[in-house]
Amino acid sequence: MTAGSPVGRAAIALYAALATCATPLIARHIASRRRRGREHPARWPERFGHAGRARPAGALVWLHAASVGEALSALPLIAWLRAAHPTVGLLLTTGTVSSAALVETRLPKGVLHQFVPVDLPRAVERFLDHWRPDLALWFESELWPILLDRAAQRGVALILVNGRLSAASHARWRWARPLARTLLGNFELLLAQSAADAARLQDLGGRAVRCHGNLKRAAAPLPCDEATTAALAGRLAGRPLWLAASTHPGEEAIAASVHRRVAALHPGLVSVIVPRHPARGPAIRDALAGSDGAVALRSAGDDLPATAGLYVADTMGELGQWYRLAELVFIGGSLVPHGGQNPLEAARLGCALLYGPAMTNFAEIAAELVAAGAAETVRDEAALAGAIDRLLTDAPRRHALAEAGRRYATAQADVVDEVVAELEPYVRRLDMR
């Protein structure tokens, strides 16, 4: 299905022409990302539509999840599709190395993963020529004009799942309303994650917009290796610990400064930093070592500090382990202008939550967690240090935050069932082919 005004169609045509002209620049950009470890060293051709796997026979459902958070939201639906519709092939695309590493260990057998092609006409055509999807489930908010337009032109049924559109993005899209209407018009169904998101999607021209809740609230707890977690807990032996989770550039220095302030008040304090992008681990260690002495690095095989110290946990797939070990967690991306990371993963595992004011990616959830008595907002480094000192001392308050967060994070477990009910008619059509 292709939809939209002549102005919107013309905007997509202009975008595609400019993208084609920019192909050499985009190729150099991808090469630069490869050198920096931001693209897969062997599978990078997938980013230009060169398939790394054979297409399975029969009908194919394509799920697109931009990065780690969206991929986690997709996992319950992948499990349902595999169990309820075993004859339908499943392809998951993501755009980041970290998301690929995550799904490598979490996807059911037979579900294929590929990197999403860059939004260039030739790359998109190669991708669609090979995979020929019948149904596409598009998660959250990544609206690539060429990819959506070409898929719709080929008759792929498109559904937006867990749709998100922030107030800032909505304001920007309003300046390009014909393009927004054309892109959103390609979706046969838009399932928004909140009432506010639904209203914004409708305002920009989305059709059949419905809201059942946020799939992130229904996700399973992050996994962990129980033996490794128990061994780390034994080495900590009750020492105080706090976690800076999914940090972005600038926040590691804040965490190190907070550690210096708080370690003087809490002997033996271990401050664990889990960077959002693990490849930054060695650089973080080197940057912090100058002012903070030795900084242990997990990917280098370093053990937890024997005394008070910083520990950079830069290994993939272990965030669930650290959430189980740390009762007190700062959510990264919130003291720098990024928009915050998912606080529900920590809340689900019984962590008391702290985050900065920049939680726009999870604005509704962040506000509701504070209102539910499950989180506190800190405005800057000094406030973060004060909150960590206070909560390490005040166990009842820390436990109250954690329990409120657990209740909030598990209150919408039925969201998956409601989303499945919406998707079932579309998938059932594929079974009948």
Query: Would you tell me how many other CB atoms lie within 10 Å of the CB of residue 240?
Result: 21
Q: What is the pLDDT of residue 168?
A: 87
What is the average pLDDT value for the chain, to the nearest integer?
93
Residues contacting residue 269 through CB under 8 Å, at least 6 positions apart: 239, 240, 241, 242, 259, 262, 263, 308, 392
Per the document, the length of the chain is 433
What is the C-alpha to C-alpha distance for residues 365 and 73, in angstroms, rounded to an integer? 15
CA distances from 399 to 120, 367, 391, 392 (A): 50, 19, 9, 10
- Say if residues 119 and 144 touch (Cβ distance below 8 Å): yes
The arithmetic mean of pLDDT across residues 326-339, rounded, is: 96
Residue type, 395: A
pLDDT score recorded for residue 1? 52
Tokens of 404: 């409120």
Q: pLDDT at position 207, please?
A: 87
Contact by Cβ (8 Å): 372, 407: yes
Three-class secondary structure assignment of 239-290: CCEEEEEEECCCHHHHHHHHHHHHHCCCCCCEEEEEECCHHHHHHHHHHHHH
Residues annotated as catalytic are 70
Q: Report whether 407 contacts 347 (CB < 8 A).
A: no
Parallel, antiparallel, or unpaired: how do β-strands 270-275 and 241-247 relate? Answer: parallel
What is the Cα–Cα distance from 200 to 218, expressed in whole angstroms?
A: 23
Q: Give tens-digit pLDDT for 33-59.
A: 999 888 999 999 999 999 999 999 999
Distance of alpha carbon 144 from alpha carbon 103, whole angstroms: 22
Among 111, 11, 20, 15, smallest CA distance to 60 is for 111
| pLDDT (average), residues 91-112 | 91
pLDDT at 361: 87
Band (67; pLDDT cuts 50, 70, 90)? confident
pTM: 0.78
pLDDT in tens, 141-192: 889 999 999 999 999 999 999 999 988 899 999 999 999 999 999 999 999 9
The arithmetic mean of pLDDT across residues 238-261, rounded, is 96
| 144-181: b (≥16 Cβ within 10 Å) or e | bbbbbbbbbeeebbbbbbbbbbbeebbeebeeeebbbb
Question: Has residue 116 got a pLDDT over 80?
Answer: yes
Confidence of residue 206 (pLDDT cuts 50, 70, 90): very high
Round to whole Å and give the CA distance between 61 and 157: 10
Confidence check: pLDDT of 291 > 70: no
pLDDT band at residue 4, thresholds of 50, 70 and 90? low
H/E element holding 112? Answer: strand 112-115
- Tell me, rounded to whole angstroms, the distance of Cα 25 from its chain centroid: 27
